[in-house]
A and B are shown apart, each in its own frame.
Chain A
Amino acid sequence: MNLTEFFRNLDRRWIFLLMLLSILIPLLFGLRFPESPSPMVLNVRSAIEELPEGSDVLMAWDFDPASRGELSPMAAAFVRHCAYKKHKLYFLTLWATGGPLIQESIDILNREFPGYEYGRDYVNLGFRPGGEGVIKVVVGDLKKLFANDVDGTSLDELALTRNLKNIRQMDLIVNVSAGYPGTKEWVLYAATPYDLEIVGGTTGVSAPSLYPYIPGQLTGLLAAIKAAAEYEQAVIDLYPALMENDTAQEGLRRMGPQLLAHMLVILLIVAGNVIYFWERRKGVAS
């Protein structure tokens, strides 16, 4: 068996093993790279930073555990940034499996921002089914669908939500989404018709379809883990105390495996093409 034949018939499990190693090695050795925020990431940061302290921010977490690896670092960074600005946070999700991911964000508030009090500074509205149908109702009357928080407490009993009529009262919508319903629906049914400001964070595959809405309808977008890492860096630049917090640098940590995995994919494409052209030259390929 010659070399080209060996590569042509290569068992794909070897490729899987290479991929595993390219992810494992940087994680084990703590490989980190510097990130400089792109203009898009700085736009997102400005949208939160330039709000007056204590502004109302809707945190719509529309993702599930499958995309958590890619999206949770940006969700966490959004929460920390908003908490540093002492914004009032209203969490909800349109995904049935999104509830515990909101709890992860609330755990960050409880752990790192002890001054944040439930019902006064933040509230967890939980999940409602209906996708964009929910959005269309809450822009008019939030309490028609969310009469209680996740624990069954009436929103009229919580200081934060007592006078809340609808989400048009929000100063900003922050949406982290892995698909439908997600950023596109929040843009189409809430932000655009009612002139609300919105920033988003999405998976790499969802991002291209959202670019047409920037910047007129969508102020800024964090696309995939690269943008999450840049955003973490952008927030650290403003609040250097976060440098001491390893959990606030998850995106930056994940850029090591991303670099090696991307390099592996490029190498595989090159190797595949070299073999293809080599064989074609020799007249082996059909």
Chain B
Amino acid sequence: MKRTLPLLIAAVTGFVLIGAHFVPYTQSWGEEAMIWFDILAAIAFILGGANLVRLNLQKISDRRAGWGYAAVTVIAFFLTLVVGMAKMGVHPSAQFPQFAWSGDYVQEGSSFWFIYQYAFYPLGATMFALLACFIASAAFRAFRAKNTEAIILLSTAFIVLVGRTYAGTALTGWMPEALQFDNLTGTIMNVFNLAGNRAITIGIGLGVVSLSLKILLGVDRSYLGTEE
């Protein structure tokens, strides 16, 4: 039962969605199934949150390496959750002034907005910006023209890096139009990259069809996990 029921749910939902795509009469069934999916996706947030708390509390309780970071994670999680759920500092919306909680939870000036704007926002941007430093370090230590493939890769990187800035126009503006780096970058993206990506996409598409059929027919049950 533990395995049969999920298998049945997956198969029925999958075939309903396939049918809804091809048979106009059943289109509303597909929409209904997708709404269930969206509700489940919302519930997944609760599941994800609970899992995050459980794992981090375990780490703190076992005093494993880095447990201090886990404590910060748990505190930040609950702080954000409470502030957001309680809509602290949120003014009622103009539409429903009589209801204190009617405003948007990320309303400007609210406590949640403050956390988003002054903690989440700079931290997220910092993480992304750090990539520039690591790419620079990797460029110096790892990109070596050791063989033909590496030389092709480096030459392409050189053209794209230059072509993606004004330097492409300034340094190669005197060359025939097709050889100017900004145009060459376009050619690399529109021809070589396109061909490679299209092949990968078609391959993935065929793989998805085959794997989906195996899942819907119950041949592949790996997504259900092990019996343990």
B104:A259 contact, CB within 8 angstroms:
no
Question: What residues on B are CB-neighbors of A141 within 8 Å?
Answer: 31
Q: How far is the CA of A19 from the CA of B122 in the complex (A)?
A: 19
**Of listed B95, B120, B136, B197, residue having the most chain A CB within 10 A:** B136
Q: Is the CB of B31 within 8 A of A136?
A: yes
Other-chain residue from B94, B116, B165, B198 in contact with A259 (beta carbon distance below 8 A): B165
A2 within 8 A of B: no
Given A151-B102, A152-B102, A153-B95, A15 contacting B133 (CB threshold 8 A): yes
A25 CB within 8 Å of chain B: no
Is A65 on the interface with B (CB-CB < 8 A)? yes
Residues in B with CB closer than 8 Å to A224 are: 164
Q: Which of B58-66, B137-145, B211-219, B220-228 contacts A (4 or more CB under 8 A)?
A: B137-145
Query: Cβ of A97 < 8 Å from any Cβ of B?
Result: yes
Residues of B75-127 at the interface with A, using a CB-CB cut-off of 8 Å, are 93-96, 102-104, 106, 108, 113, 116-117, 120-122, 124-125, 127
Q: Within the assembled complex, what's the spacing in Å between the Cα atoms of A28 and B194?
A: 38
Could you tell me if A133 and B38 are in contact, using CB atoms closer than 8 angstroms? yes
A176: interface (CB < 8 Å): no
Q: Name the one of A67, A133, A157 contacting B37, with C-beta atoms under 8 angstroms.
A: A133
B45 proximity list for chain A (CB < 8 A): 96, 129
Determine whether the beta carbon of B106 is less than 8 Å from that of A211.
no
Q: Please tell me if the beta carbons of A268 and B136 are within 8 angstroms of each other in the complex.
A: yes
> What residues of chain B lie closer than 8 Å to A133, measured between beta carbons?
34, 37-38, 41
Complex CA–CA separation, A137 to B141 (angstroms):
49
Are the C-beta atoms of B139 and A66 separated by less than 8 Å? no
> Which residues of B sit under 8 angstroms from A145, Cβ to Cβ?
35, 38
A68 interface hit (Cβ, 8 Å)? yes
Nearest chain A residue, comparing its CB with the CB of B163: A226
- Give Cα A129–Cα B43 distance, bound, in whole angstroms: 9
Partner of B121, one of A65, A126, A153: A65
Q: CA A23 – CA B133 in complex, angstroms?
A: 11
Q: Is the CB of B38 within 8 A of A276?
A: no
Shortest distance in angstroms between B21's beta carbon and chain A's nearest beta carbon? 8
Interface residue? B190 (CB, 8 A): yes
> What is the interface residue range for chain A against chain B?
35 or more
* A151 engages B94 (CB within 8 Å): yes
Among B121, B186, B190, the one with the most A-chain Cβ atoms within 10 Å of its Cβ is B121
How far is B154's CA from A223's CA once the two chains are assembled, in angstroms?
21
Do A269 and B139 touch (CB < 8 A)?
yes
B135 within 8 A of A: yes
A34 in contact (CB, < 8 A): yes
Task: Write out the residue numbers on chain B whose beta carbons fall within 8 Å of the beta carbon of A150.
Answer: 104
Tell me if B95 and A12 are in contact (CB < 8 A): no
Q: Contacts of B103 on A, CB cut-off 8 Å? A: 151
Say whether A264 faces chain B, with CB atoms less than 8 Å apart: yes
A-B CB pair tally, cutoff 8 Å: 171
Give Cα A264–Cα B34 distance, bound, in whole angstroms: 48
Alpha-carbon distance between A161 and B164 when the two chains are bound, in angstroms:
41
In terms of DSSP, what is the predominant structure of the interface of chain B? Answer: helix
Beyond A66-B127, A151-B102, A211-B190, is A276–B144 a contact (Cβ under 8 Å)?
Answer: yes
Q: Find chain A residues with CB under 8 A from B18 CB.
A: none
Known: A262-B161, A272-B140. A103 touches B106 (CB 8 A): yes
Q: Is B166 a contact partner of A34 (Cβ separation < 8 A)? A: yes
Out of A10, A68, A255, name the residue touching B166 (CB < 8 Å). Answer: A255
- Find A137's partner among B38, B94, B121, B186 (CB 8 Å cutoff): B38
Q: Are A130 and B161 in contact (CB under 8 A)?
A: no
Are B189's CB and A16's CB within 8 A?
A: no
Q: Counting CB contacts under 8 A, is B42 at the interface?
A: yes
Q: Which residue of chain B is the closest to A36 with respect to CB atoms?
A: B169
Contacts of A208 in B (CB 8 A): 189, 193, 197
Q: Would A255 and B165 be within 8 Å (CB), given that A19-B133, A152-B96, A266-B158 are in contact?
A: yes
The verdict on B19 contacting chain A, using a C-beta distance below 8 Å, is: no
A sample of 8 more A-B contacts (CB under 8 A), given A12-B137, A151-B93, A262-B161, is A12-B140, A19-B133, A33-B166, A65-B120, A133-B34, A137-B38, A269-B157, A273-B144
Q: List 9 A-B contacts (CB under 8 A).
A: A15-B133, A15-B140, A38-B186, A69-B125, A103-B108, A145-B38, A150-B104, A208-B193, A262-B162
Residues of A within 8 A of B (CB): 10, 12, 15-16, 18-20, 23, 33-36, 38-40, 64-69, 96-97, 99-100, 103, 126, 128-131, 133-134, 136-137, 140-141, 144-145, 150-153, 157, 193, 204, 207-209, 211-212, 223-224, 226, 255, 258-259, 261-266, 268-269, 271-273, 276
Those 5 A-B pairs whose CB atoms lie nearest each other, nearest first: A130-B38, A33-B166, A66-B124, A65-B124, A151-B93
